[in-house]
Amino acid sequence: MPSDISDKKVKFLEEKALEIRELIIEMLLNAGSGHSAGPLGMADVFSSLYFHTLNHIPSKPDWEERDRLVLSNGHICPVRYAAMALSGYFPLSELKTLRQLGSRLQGHPHRTSLPGLETTSGPLGEGVSQAIGIALAGKMNKKDYHVYVVTGDGEHDEGNIWESVMMGARYKLDNLTVIIDRNNIQIDGFTEDVMPLESLKNKYESFGWHAEDIDGNNIREIVLTLDKVKTIHEMPSVIIARTIPGKGVHFMENNYYWHGNPPNKEQAKMAMKDLRTLKNKIESEY
C-alpha cells in the first residue's frame, strides 16, 4: 500500500469533487426536488472512488473483472450520477433530466436504466446484504474484483444491516468494503437524537470486521484508507467516513433540513458562490 499520494493527484481529486458538487446543485435546482446534504457531503468519497480506487472501464460497464459499487442509501444518488457522468458512463447533459418522468436518472437508482449500476436502490438497509451476495459470488467464482457499498448512518437503524454484518464476518469477505456516510443527520433530525449509533467502530469490530474511522472530506485520508483496506485479509472492512452534510455550502452544512430538500434559484446562486470560493482555495493550496 502506498504511504502517500502526490499533491498533484490530491488536487485533481479535489477538483473533481468540486465539479461533482457544482453539478449536484444544478441537478437539484432543475429537478425542484431531491436531497442536498448527503450528496454534497459525499462528493469527496465519490471522487476518490471513481477517479482513483475503482477498477472500472466506463466504456465497458459490464466488464466482468470490474469492481462493484453498491449504493444502499439511494437518495444521495445525485452524487453518484454526477461522478458517473464525469467518468464517461453517460453524457453530462443527461444530468438535467434528474427526477423527470421517463428519465434514466430517477430519485433512486434503477439498475437496468443506466450502465454501471449494480443494484436498484430503494428501501434503506438492503445494500449491505446485496453487496455481501455479490462479494460471496466473487469468492465462489474465484474472481478478484472488490465490492464497495456506500451506506448512510441513519440506515444503521435497520436490523437488516446487522444481520448482513454478521454474514460478512462469517464468510470472511475480505473483498468487501462498507463505507458509512457518518454525517450525523437523517430526515427526522440528528441521528443521536433519533437512535444513538455510537460507537459504530466498536460495534463493527465486535462483529469481526476491520474498522477505520476517518475524515470523509479529506481526499488524502480517504484514498489512503481505501488503499489500506484492500490489504486486509480474512475479514471484511468498514470505513466510517465522518462527513459534513451540505459540505461546501455554508447555509446547508450540518443542517438536517437539507437532508431531503433542494435549493431554490436564489439559494442555488449562493451555493455556487460558495463553491467558487472553495475552488479558489484549492488553487491557492497547491
Query: Which of 207, 215, 197, 196 is closest to 237 using CA atoms?
Result: 207
Cα(186)–Cα(152) distance, integer angstroms:
9
The confidence score (pLDDT) of residue 3 equals 62
Cα(23)–Cα(92) distance, integer angstroms:
9
Cα(76)–Cα(132) distance, integer angstroms:
21
Whether residue 39 contacts residue 78, with contact meaning beta carbons closer than 8 Å, is answered with yes
DSSP bridge partners of 230: none
Q: How many CA atoms lie within 13 A of 30 on its CB side?
A: 16
Cα(19)–Cα(32) distance, integer angstroms:
20
Task: Convert 135-156 to b/e letters by CB count within 10 Å (16 or more is b).
Answer: bbebeeeebebbbbbbbbbbbb
Cα(168)–Cα(139) distance, integer angstroms:
12
Cα(71)–Cα(177) distance, integer angstroms:
12
Cis peptide before 47 (omega within 30 of 0): no
Q: pLDDT (tens digit, 0 to 9) for every residue of the chain, 286 residues total? A: 456 899 999 999 999 999 999 999 999 999 999 999 999 999 999 999 999 999 999 999 999 999 999 999 999 999 999 999 999 999 999 999 999 999 999 999 999 999 999 999 878 889 999 999 999 999 999 999 999 999 999 999 999 999 999 999 999 999 999 999 999 988 888 889 999 999 999 999 999 999 999 999 999 999 999 999 999 999 999 999 999 999 999 999 999 999 999 999 999 999 999 999 988 888 888 7
State whether residue 239 is helix, strand or coil: strand
Cis peptide before 199 (omega within 30 of 0): yes
The confidence score (pLDDT) of residue 1 equals 46
Whether residue 230 contacts residue 146, with contact meaning beta carbons closer than 8 Å, is answered with yes
DSSP H or E stretch at residue 216: none
Whether residue 68 contacts residue 148, with contact meaning beta carbons closer than 8 Å, is answered with yes
Cα(136)–Cα(175) distance, integer angstroms:
9
Whether residue 148 contacts residue 69, with contact meaning beta carbons closer than 8 Å, is answered with yes
Cell of 36: 442536498
**Reported pTM:** 0.94
Amino acid at 241: A
Assign a CATH topology to domain 7-285.
Rossmann fold (3.40.50)
Whether residue 167 contacts residue 139, with contact meaning beta carbons closer than 8 Å, is answered with no
Cell of 131: 453487496
